[in-house]
Structure 1
Amino acid sequence: MAETPPAVIDVLVLDQFSMMSLAATIEPLRAANRVAAQTLYRWRLLSWSDEAPSSSSGITVAMNGRFDPDAARNALFVVAAFNAQSIDRRLAGALRRVARRRISLAGVEAGSWVLARAGLLDGYSATTHWEDLEEFTATFPKIAVVADRFVMDRARWTAGGAAPALDMMLAMIRAQHGLPLALNVASVFIYDQQMPATAPQPVVSLGRLAVTDPALATVIRAMESHLEEPLTVPALAARAGILPRTLQARFRTQLGQSPHAFYLDLRLSASKRMLEQTAHTVAVVATACGFGSASAFARAFRRRFGANPQATRVVMTRAG
């Protein structure tokens, strides 16, 4: 491989970041240098304050310095989670200064919220973690929000989480240094990059189930896409091309519960996320998650979570 000047990648790490998202962002750069036997990338971990940020798991990571918007760099990645839906106005201004230099800006997980709050994703396609997609769409109408794993739209890149971030970094390496290097970098992590960027972020990660029982995987994906108007077991079985009794048996063998119980839990989990993360009323949430009445929803919610949906709504409102 011909010698090329190393690209400087700055990673702005915000408090409560995900360790996996950070690793997925920087480890492919290290592996690319190793595989290429030359320094293709240099990276710096940067904080916004004098204090080193702490991860969501309570681990403090040493930084290479504070974020300087005027420093020379080829790309800036923002790795953030949890508390990044509101940001410091000074940070927003600093990010806009970086953007005026026409370099690539990337948001990993809630890093997309940071870029969006700074107005840097307006007019671009973007994504964020699947739990926040609905609120992200409502909050930023000027962004073409998609449920893709990651999006690379001109000089604005966003990834929904750790695994999509790894895929995005491999895509960057492939674009800059060719497919053979990207494949070898993936091999360092014993990673088979099977999902395209445009694959939707799944609510349920099926893992090996998609290979060992594709019919069951098909049914679960159908459940995910029909929360508001739940499908019957016969309809689900027909989508997978199997008999209803076969579907019942496979659910119990693979997942230890009936299709009905699994589907109900999927809808209730979605309702809890909506109550915690959006301003929708209980009635709206009930309808969106396939319950015919607010009272039926409340009974099912209490059995599953031991609390009333209204209480969850009140707690979320006070926390906000």
Structure 2
Amino acid sequence: MTWKDAATSDVVNAKAPSAVTRVALLLIPGFALMSYASALEPLRAANTLAGRTLYAWRHVSPDGRPVEASSGLVLDVDGGPGEGVSPDMLIVCAGGNPAAFDDAATFAWLRALARQGVVIGGVSGGPVILARAGLLDGHHATVHWEHAAAFAEDFPDVTLVPSLYQIDGRRLTCAGGVAALDLMHQVIAEAHGGELARAVSDWFLQAHVRPGSGGQRLAPRERLGISSPKLEAVVGAMEGQLEEPLGRAALARIAGLSLRQLDRLFSAHLGTSPERFYLSLRLDRARQLLRQSGLSATEIAVATGFASGSHFSRAYRQKFGVPPTGERRSRNG
């Protein structure tokens, strides 16, 4: 099994490494293709622009067989865990529902690589796999916002940061999507200098390289198409406090409005009341937890601000058409 690389003679003056960096990409079934490409393509571009092989890579799947991405595309791999793969860096690419992945052999292999000092990273849902292997305990880490609520509940020994990417010692975590381009810019810059990293970003038309501390999501203004700073402040407060929902009076104080004015603001911009909008946010969070965590329905009800399981179940069924237990059965097939 050979390490793949790509190099041409289009040279940028980069620092010479002592050796080629061997990168293994562990593809978990259902992995996000955008995140995978954003992690791999900068390495190929670095080789091309440097005119020599700085990085070589292999693809690995848990069973050594071709693996299907979330889009349905099937990728061939070079083998399974431990099959002649001795990387300097390993990146776990996952998506969909990474909390459902449970392969003891893969987790053991990841832990063995960590003991050997291998740099280990995860993109999109990849940090969930690393956390399940016990490799993020005591570390700062990030994960795609879709997985963040369940991650925080399931892995209290990991300091979860809502950032684009985190580099903490020999652990790299990335929220996924195009944020992997920003992460790899940093990785290439640290290994081979800023000039090459900037050339790689320019290659991919990345006019602005975001810092790791950048936020993952659009502000409520862009995401919801609202133009009122007062409404944006209230929505931000709601999103930040789902476990113990704020009362109407507290929301009105945040906006600097009367209760009646607050109602009119929500009706004019969002076509609903503050209470209904807040309830919808809490139920969306509950759905994420049901799909991606091992918490019981009762625990999820508490985590999303419901005083009773019966109220939670009724509200959930009204919005999604199934009770919480039905959602979990559907997830488990």
Alpha-carbon distance in 1 for matches of 2:34, 2:127: 16
1:4 to 2:35 alignment: no
Question: Could you list the runs of 5+ residues in structure 2 that have no partner in the other structure?
Answer: 1-12
Residue 236 of structure 2 aligns to a residue whose secondary structure is: helix
Residue 162 of structure 1 aligns to a residue whose secondary structure is: coil
> CA 1:250–1:26 in 2, change beyond 3 Å: closer, same or farther?
farther
1:63 corresponds to: 77
Q: Is the 8 A contact 2:14 2:193 kept in 1?
A: no
1:319 to 2:327 alignment: no
> CA 1:191–1:261 in 2, change beyond 3 Å: closer, same or farther?
farther
Q: Is the 8 A contact 1:85 1:114 kept in 2?
A: no
Per-residue CA deviations over 1:261-312 (Å, capped at 9, x if unaligned) read 3322111111222333444444443343233444443332222112233444
Alpha-carbon distance in 1 for matches of 2:226, 2:46: 33
Question: Could you list the runs of 5+ residues in structure 1 that have no partner in the other structure?
Answer: none
Give the one of 102, 108, 116 matched to 1:87: 102
Alpha-carbon distance in 1 for matches of 2:221, 2:176: 16
Alpha-carbon distance in 2 for matches of 1:86, 1:302: 27
Shift of 1:55: 0.8
Aligned length: 316
Moved more, 158-167 or 241-250: 241-250
1:109 to 2:124 alignment: yes
Shift of 1:172: 1.3
> CA 1:116–1:245 in 2, change beyond 3 Å: closer, same or farther?
same
1:226 to 2:226 alignment: no
Alpha-carbon distance in 1 for matches of 2:110, 2:84: 10
Alpha-carbon distance in 2 for matches of 1:62, 1:31: 21
Q: Is the 8 A contact 1:69 1:98 kept in 2?
A: no
> CA 1:120–1:24 in 2, change beyond 3 Å: closer, same or farther?
same
Q: TM-score, normalised by structure 2?
A: 0.76
Q: Is the 8 A contact 2:99 2:293 kept in 1?
A: no
Which letter does structure 1 place at the counterpart of 2:123?
Answer: V
Alpha-carbon distance in 1 for matches of 2:298, 2:79: 48
Which letter does structure 1 place at the counterpart of 2:286?
Answer: S
Q: TM-score, normalised by structure 1?
A: 0.79
Alpha-carbon distance in 2 for matches of 1:244, 1:180: 55
Q: Provide the alpha-carbon RMSD of the alignment.
A: 3.6
Alpha-carbon distance in 1 for matches of 2:255, 2:214: 20
Equivalence map 1:1-80=2 (5 Å): 1-2=13-14, 4-5=16-17, 6-36=20-50, 38-68=52-82, 71-80=85-94
Shift of 1:53: 0.4
